[in-house]
Amino acid sequence: MASLLKLSTALRRPTLLAGSRAGSTYAAAFRTALSNEPATEVTTLDSGLRVASESVPSQVATVGLFIDAGARYEDKNSNGTANFFEHLAFKGTTSRSQAALEQEVESLGAQLDASTGRDQTSFTARCLSKDVPKLVEILADVVQNPRLDDADVKRAREVILGEIEQVDASNLREVVFDHLHSTAFQGTSLSNTVWGPSSNIRSIKADDVRGYVNSHYKAPRMVLAAAGDVRQAELEKLAEKYLGKVESTFDGKAPQLSAVRFTGSEMRVRDDSIPLAHVAVAVEGCGATDSDALALSVASALIGTWDRTFGGGVNNASKLAVASAHDKLCHNFESFNLTYRDTGLWGIYFECDPLLCEDMLFNVQNEWMRLCTMVTDGEVERAKRQLKTRLLAQLEGPQSICEDIGRQVLQQGIRVPLHDLERRL
């Protein structure tokens, strides 16, 4: 239990940084390389739809439609509708049957994907760069003209209910994070799960999904993003051609995010039939555009991620990892910084023996306090480098770049250039 306390003397020793001149030269070259990365171009059409792209020298491209629609825009009666539409989106349109749609996509060698979150929904296609115009047309058709017949709704309902049961039984991490949100933001829309309650799924009908799409899928709430061998001017023409008829006005008041209220509280769900305890602890963070967002990400990187299958546990740079490996406090842990449009959650998730929960929490609390009182410049520098590595690794290839463009442009209207992000860090 006292592992972190035993390490306190060593933590006070300053970290020696060798090769400062070589490091300075490398840092300058690194910044130059980032500044030479292609810029993300963003254009807003007359309808309010935003078009964004980044030219990447690749024969493969990713194009996607990103929409301000997700669990946060639902109430207790409609929660789950956004995810329901995700399961119906590729079941055919008014002009394409499901079989025709699938054959067309497969003949192009493309891959379609859809994802629903709390803040936004996305529909993406991975294809050859030369096929981007065709995939834009297909995605536009899927979003604007979904078939939504009763038979498809019935089948989707059965699939979703089965997936909810599977998640509850085998994906305890996701269950814990749903509980975390419902506790931290209780009484607000951010407490909604993406899946929605089973009672809602059983009652959702085609008209409910159609009404949700008609209310939220408006041009000012949409971004068409692409990454690959694409040109912004050509993408704008495609947007005008295939998405020009998307309405820009709302019937009544436009959907708005409700106010968020963080409630510091505790929820414990005990199940002695499973071998490990799954625990998440968090405090209120900040929104994605807040000036403190990067600082919290660095703090999260400083605590780090660890699994007992990793090699060199007792020699890990993370002090919490050293304590966990030395005293076998947990099987794994991960520090996280979840950011939404206007708030966030900063904390840690871990899996451990049920009898060691208090010991692990004791060490977590000590590590959090150490961030406020004893952390060294060397540790912060190491965390910043690890964060840079992770952020850059996540942007390898057109698919991850496209998803990053869509997310950022939806949240803040622009995509922060990599060299600017590095400067802030």
Task: Just list the catalytic residues.
Answer: 86
Q: What is the largest CA-CA distance in the chain?
A: 70
Cβ-in-10-Å burial (0-12, 13-18, 19+) of 32 comes to exposed
Report in angstroms the alpha-carbon separations of 412 from 55, 202, 386: 21, 36, 25
Which residues, at least 6 apart from 346, have a Cβ–Cβ distance to it below 8 Å? Answer: 282, 283, 284, 285, 296, 299, 300, 336, 337, 338
Q: Specify the pairing of strand 50-55 against strand 222-228.
A: parallel
Per 3-state DSSP, the chain is made up of helix, strand and coil in percentages (nearest 5) of 50, 15, 35
Name residue 278's beta-bridge partners.
351
Distance CA(374)–CA(335), nearest Å, equals 19
∠ CA 284-285-287, rounded to 5°: 130
Q: What is the CA radius of gyration of the chain?
A: 23
Name residue 307's beta-bridge partners.
332
